[in-house]
Structure 1
Amino acid sequence: METKQSPLPQKSNSFSSSSREEKLRESDRNLSLGAIKFEDRYEKKEGDDSKEDCIEEEREEEDKEQEEEETSKENVEESERSFISFSDEIDRFVGVLASLQDVQAQGYELPELPESTIEKFVDALEKEIATYESGERKWSPDHDEISLLDAFKRVNKLTSALTPLSSEPRYNHAMNRTGGVLHRAMAFLEDEFFSLLDENSRGKQQDLGSTSTKTKRPPSFSRPQQQQQHEQDRCILPSAESSTNEEYPQTYPPNVVERLRGIAAVMIPAGYVTECCEVFSVARRNAFFAGLSSLGCEKISIDDVQRMAWDSLEGEIATWIKAFRHSITVSFPSERELFDIVFSGHGDIANSLFNNLALGAIFQLLNFAEAVSMTKRSTEKLFKMLDIYETLRDLTPAIHAIFSVEGNEEESTASPVRDLKSEISAIQSRLGEAAIAIFCDLESSIKTDTGKTPVPGGAVHPLTRYVMNYLKYACEYTNTLEQVFKDYQRTERPSSYDDDGDDAPPGSTSNRENQSSSSTATDPKPFADQLTELMELLHSNLEAKSKLYKDQALCNIFLMNSGRYIMKKIKGAAGINELLGEAWRRKRSSELRQYHKNYQRETWSKVLACFRDEGLNVRGNVSKPVLKERFKSFNAMIDEIRKTQSSWVVSDEQMQSELRVSISAVVVPAYRSFLGRFSQYLHPGRQTEKYIKFGADDLENYIDELFDGNPSSMARRRT
């Protein structure tokens, strides 16, 4: 028996064919219209400017980008709707498991597993992670990251709740699925954590390196000016009051810091604290040392420091001081703030990570200071060693504050922190002892400078210039040197002296140790005493050098030059002036006046003797032979003085003027009076020209040309 199939209902052929024909005709019309429009556009494009083409293309690109953005947004919203739709049921299930931890012991049955919901939730989460891992979409603040982080937290809670129930077969599959996606989520967060840290750090270091400027090394014996903090390094956004201040650029923008905090808040409870901390520590350590490098501070071994030429090492020290101050006062406080925010709620982790970074960095920086303290000692190194000493001394309170945690006294007294404080103290001690040794070596240098060649023209001896310039700059460190001598003078003695203390200068350690303890205890300013002894030693050395001159007048000129130079330097340096005291200055001023008198007596007393009346009158008449002899002697003396003293040097213009004025005031009036009284006894003509070679004004002009170190000037004047 045949089974008949019900025929499908069919429309009439006429309707069907007419309908198709109508559609075809309409399609042809549309195609024709489209072709006409295309031709019109084509012809129009050929005649119009290319600007309209660009505008049309830009519009198409904008429409395409907007469409892609809307599609991406729809995908994100769809994923979020998936997370939200499953979250309530999963949260209820986790809550039940948490409240029934001892349910088996009390005879209750475990709740039914929402396996379908968990499977869908895990699938949606894996799909979302895959879109970021493939690079299809970038995980950025433009998307709702909180939803994804909440989903990661939820899968962690679900995995943790299922783990104690691993003995139940019905939970095994769900536990494996949630554990797998949790591991994948943490690996994804670890990569994002590293990317956020690395990308922002590299961008900041490039900016810092491009804006850093090199400073010129200060000249020898000049104290460097205080380094101004042009570079600021803020790791996080400061308070709202200062957030607009351009003086504090941020290493990480506020939204990045918040993302870092959010990631850490998910990874740590999930048991991935090691991975999170390791990534953060490595990234911040690299960023910190990259910052030091951008400031010009590179790691240098102790051996390299020992072999380095002083000119190069001096520049490295200046760079180190700048970098060390920047690290302690700017970088570490900013790092401390960053660690506390990223690991908020986990204070122990933040403290541990920050202390590891700070201690390692400071110890590495201190290696350079220790290496400098171990270099071979020389006088030119004193000031840079004192600079390092002052840097450590001034920043020690700030270093202690870095490791002081409010409410946690044990942290600031932990063994590594105690070791750091001991290391800083030890380096300061070595620097202080080196400074004392160098200063005492200066005393030894003065004492052993026994050259037998006098300085031409009685000019200021190079030793005088060197010592006074050295002391001028040393006294800019008066407070530091007072502290150093108080703390370390008993533990250091110059290596240049014998062990038994023989031939030690007056201010050396061996002599001071021989003094009574009561005298030392009552001495409030050991450096001032050391300075006074050094000045006495210099004075004795100069007096010994003055005896190298056979001409006693030149001997006094030499002492006047050196004495005036010393007084001028002391007057221009408030530090030395105050340390030496008024009594010392009065004594030296009195000596200078005596040198002046001695010079005039040695040179001009014989000249003035020619103008005496004694011996000229014989039985009431002027003896012409004696008068002629007086003029001849006077002329010979003036010629000799002009010949010798015109090459003598008085470098201080004021003292030079004082000398000339004082000589003229005594000699010229006496000569003018002598001429007035006795020139008439010589016959005019040949006798006058033969015996009276100089007029009073000529003599005054000749005196005004003394002490300029140019003997040829008078010779030209005479001709």
Structure 2
Amino acid sequence: MPKKGMRSLWFHSKTSSYSLSPNSSPSSRPSHSTRPIPRSTSFSLDSAMIDQSIEAAAALITKWNPDSSSYANVTSLFYESKVEAMQFIHSVNNLQKAMHALVSDNSSSSDKLVQAHKLMQIAMKRLQKEFYQILSMNRAHLDPESVSARSSRASARSSISDYEDDDDDVRPAGASIEEVEEVSSIAMADLRSIAECMISSGYAKECVSIYKIIRQSIVDEGIYRLGVEKLSSSQINKMPWEVLELKIKNWLDAVKISMRTLFTGERILCDHVFASSDSIRESCFTEISKQGATILFNFPEVVAKSKKSPEKIFRVLDIYTAISENWPEIESIFSFESTASVRSQAITSIIRLGESVRAMLSDFESAIQKDSSKSLVRDGGVHSVTLHAMNYLSLLADYSNILGDIFADWPQPAKSSLPESYFDSPQSDESPVTAISMRIAWLILVLLCKLDGRAKHSKDVSLSYLFLANNIQHVVSTVRRSNLQYLLGEDWVAKHEAKLRQFAAKYERLAWGKVIASLPENPTAEISSAEAKEIFRKFNSSFEEAYLKQGTLVVSDPNLRDEMKVSIATKLEPVYQKFYDKYRPTTGRGVRNARLFVRFAPEDVGNYLSGLFLGTIEPVDCGSSPSPSSPSSHRRRERSRR
């Protein structure tokens, strides 16, 4: 809980209130009897020294009394003469010592003490005016960005000086940087001098009131310009996602700027100006920054409590990442006990965001399991749920560090609802198992089980295996080209590639096994002409049937497509070539008679197979190849020669 307010920390109950205007008249000030003199070390001043201090202070203070001199009223002491300004501060400090000496010496004249109090009131009014003017006139040089970047400017100036002999164009920029830094440093030093003088003289309240009014307006304006606004859960829930996403993007920019410049600059400035009092700088910074910071870090909590959708997870993770990455700055800037509520709000937002992410991933898992699309994908290609799920998971992998934090203590899902055969792919010792890697592996497992269930509903078993091969290939290729490979490990990839090969082999056996079986194991073995004709007939029929059926199917991945075509061709073409070369002449004389038994030349078989898995074919008709290029032209050339 924050400490009590600034007033209870260091304001005496009898201290007068401060009027905003720095030009308030001395008559509005309390008499010396109501203004307690701050305790200080005891002084031993003789009467002559006391008189000398009062006289010296009177001369300078009267000169710069804004109520008695029109020149003093319109002129800034600190801008007019820095030397005289420092003399003024020194005189006030000496006056304060004289007052302490007068109070401690009961025999001293009360007239001198009254005179000193009146001079002190005039001096404080002058310093209030100066403090206000410096803060107001230097808003551009004391803006949080300028203050927070002072060290960066110093580094930049050092770098520029290294190259100033080589590049004349750099010097004007360097000069401008130096000028900005110099003005900022001078203003900060002047404010600190005034603040220390007023605090030590018992006028802390008046000094801080001016400071807080001006600086809080700068912070409030900064928060407003960054687009940060206080929103309720009901307002968030009524927003279209496009509008909320835009506000989240604005917030992400705002938190970066506010932590690097706005609040950092204010903390640096406040610590510098009120370095003489820990309690004052804490109370002052808290009052200036607490409201804006609370609004800033409340927004993530409101977003986390809004309606959840798996698609929103990435923006929620962006917010979580922003708070997590800025946490060291949050702790440092808002380190006071009185700003503990700001830290608490940031932590609460982190917790709520984590809960939201876990809920959205659970919803994503449910969406996969409840997917009601009946289609197996008629061409055996990659299912839309696979495309969506793997794209989603590959994007999630980019947040693996953050997700690791979120799921570190989250229980792993039960495996009882899925087939045991799917649990044979744990990570190897080389790929350490983490909470998020297990969670991602689980979600892919849920996806594969869903696809397996889809495949079982197909009446065409070969198509179901091609479907599984295509989809697991997409899963594996997505893992390999994303950060998922680092989460799941090579062992996981290798085992799923083995499953892919099993599916592809089963497809080949079921879809092309009859064609392969139609040819003899020994294509050059001696057989009769009738037996050769029967083999040609079976091959013609089975090859045409398989081609027309399988030619409409798709293998999306080009590497897998080539591997499958090569595997089928390797088992068919060499055997058919040898059989064709030996037994085609035995099928009868004349082209027409031979074509009754031999419909495909070895070249045609190769061309037909090369056109597989692209999803489009032409029907095989009277020995003409569906391929628009070489097979048909080859046949035409062959017929013309005959």
Q: What is the TM-score normalised by the length of structure 2?
A: 0.73
Greater relative CO, 1 or 2 (CA 8 Å, sep 6+): 2
Which residue does the alignment assign to 1:559?
Answer: 468
Closer, same or farther: CA 119–676 of 1 in aligned 2, 3 Å: closer
Paired-residue identity, %? 26
Determine which of 471, 477, 481 is the counterpart of 2:399. 477
Which residue does the alignment assign to 2:540?
Answer: 635
Cα displacement string for residues 421-460 of structure 1 (whole angstroms, at most 9, x for unaligned residues) = 4433333222222221111222111111132122241111
Q: Deviation of residue 185 (structure 1)?
A: 4.5
Establish whether residue 645 from structure 1 lines up as the match of residue 550 from structure 2.
Answer: yes
Closer, same or farther: CA 478–112 of 1 in aligned 2, 3 Å: closer
Cα displacement string for residues 493-535 of structure 1 (whole angstroms, at most 9, x for unaligned residues) = 9xxxxxxx9x99679xxxxxxxxxxxxxxx9733333333322
Closer, same or farther: CA 484–305 of 1 in aligned 2, 3 Å: same
Establish whether residue 669 from structure 1 lines up as the match of residue 574 from structure 2.
Answer: yes
Distance 2:351 2:200 in 1: 47
Which residue does the alignment assign to 1:588?
Answer: 496
Which residue does the alignment assign to 1:427?
Answer: 349
Q: Deviation of residue 325 (structure 1)?
A: 4.0
How many pairs are equivalent? 552
Determine which of 534, 555, 558 is the counterpart of 2:443. 534
Distance 1:330 1:203 in 2: 13
1:647–1:709 contact (8 Å) kept in structure 2: yes
Which residue does the alignment assign to 1:298?
Answer: 228
Cα displacement string for residues 364-423 of structure 1 (whole angstroms, at most 9, x for unaligned residues) = 22111111211111112223323333333344344333355xxxxxxx5x3x44444443
Cα displacement string for residues 448-482 of structure 1 (whole angstroms, at most 9, x for unaligned residues) = 11321222411111111221222222233333323
Q: Deviation of residue 562 (structure 1)?
A: 0.5
Matched AA of 2:499? E
**For 2:614, what is the secondary structure of its paired residue?**
coil
Closer, same or farther: CA 590–133 of 1 in aligned 2, 3 Å: same
**For 2:139, what is the secondary structure of its paired residue?**
helix
Distance 1:333 1:614 in 2: 84
Determine which of 586, 591, 614 is the counterpart of 1:708. 614
Distance 1:354 1:317 in 2: 27
Cα displacement string for residues 4-54 of structure 1 (whole angstroms, at most 9, x for unaligned residues) = xxxxxxxxxxxxxxxxxxxxxxxxxxxxxxxxxxxxxxxxxxxxxxxxxxx
Determine which of 585, 596, 604 is the counterpart of 1:698. 604
Matched AA of 1:596? A
> Larger deviation: 148-157 or 392-401?
148-157
1:193–1:260 contact (8 Å) kept in structure 2: yes
Which residue does the alignment assign to 1:147?
Answer: 87
Closer, same or farther: CA 182–428 of 1 in aligned 2, 3 Å: same
1:162–1:171 contact (8 Å) kept in structure 2: no
Q: Deviation of residue 664 (structure 1)?
A: 1.4
Closer, same or farther: CA 608–283 of 1 in aligned 2, 3 Å: same
Which residue does the alignment assign to 1:622?
Answer: 529
Matched AA of 2:566? V
Distance 2:347 2:536 in 1: 77
1:410-489, aligned counterparts within 5 Å? 414=337, 416-489=338-411
Which residue does the alignment assign to 2:139?
Answer: 201
Matched AA of 1:441? D
Distance 1:192 1:636 in 2: 104
Which residue does the alignment assign to 1:571?
Answer: 480
Closer, same or farther: CA 168–578 of 1 in aligned 2, 3 Å: closer
Establish whether residue 234 from structure 1 lines up as the match of residue 148 from structure 2.
Answer: yes
Closer, same or farther: CA 581–136 of 1 in aligned 2, 3 Å: closer
Which residue does the alignment assign to 2:506?
Answer: 598
Which residue does the alignment assign to 1:609?
Answer: 517
Which residue does the alignment assign to 1:310?
Answer: 241
**For 1:451, what is the secondary structure of its paired residue?**
coil
Matched AA of 2:244? L
Distance 2:416 2:181 in 1: 57
Distance 2:72 2:64 in 1: 12
Cα displacement string for residues 544-564 of structure 1 (whole angstroms, at most 9, x for unaligned residues) = 112344333322221111111
**For 2:228, what is the secondary structure of its paired residue?**
coil
> Larger deviation: 325-334 or 377-386?
325-334
Distance 1:456 1:232 in 2: 64
**For 1:672, what is the secondary structure of its paired residue?**
helix
**For 1:463, what is the secondary structure of its paired residue?**
helix
When Rg is computed on C-alpha atoms for both structures, the one with the higher figure is: 1
1:8-23, aligned counterparts within 5 Å? none
Closer, same or farther: CA 683–199 of 1 in aligned 2, 3 Å: farther
Distance 2:403 2:196 in 1: 52
Matched AA of 1:392? I
Establish whether residue 171 from structure 1 lines up as the match of residue 171 from structure 2.
Answer: no
> Larger deviation: 471-480 or 439-448?
471-480
Establish whether residue 342 from structure 1 lines up as the match of residue 273 from structure 2.
Answer: yes
- For structure 1, the residue ranges without an aligned partner over 5 or more in a row are 1-96, 104-110, 209-230, 405-411, 494-500, 508-522
Closer, same or farther: CA 117–554 of 1 in aligned 2, 3 Å: closer
Closer, same or farther: CA 656–525 of 1 in aligned 2, 3 Å: same
Q: Deviation of residue 146 (structure 1)?
A: 2.0
Distance 1:143 1:395 in 2: 40
> Larger deviation: 250-259 or 443-452?
250-259
Distance 2:238 2:362 in 1: 24
2:61–2:119 contact (8 Å) kept in structure 1: yes
- For structure 2, the residue ranges without an aligned partner over 5 or more in a row are 1-41, 160-173, 420-431, 620-625, 633-642
Root-mean-square deviation (CA, aligned residues, Å) is 4.4
Q: What is the TM-score normalised by the length of structure 1?
A: 0.66
Determine which of 273, 288, 291 is the counterpart of 2:204. 273
Q: Deviation of residue 655 (structure 1)?
A: 0.6
Cα displacement string for residues 256-292 of structure 1 (whole angstroms, at most 9, x for unaligned residues) = 1112112213332343322211221232233234444
Which residue does the alignment assign to 2:33?
Answer: none
Establish whether residue 385 from structure 1 lines up as the match of residue 311 from structure 2.
Answer: no
1:235–1:250 contact (8 Å) kept in structure 2: no
2:153–2:181 contact (8 Å) kept in structure 1: no
Distance 1:437 1:168 in 2: 77
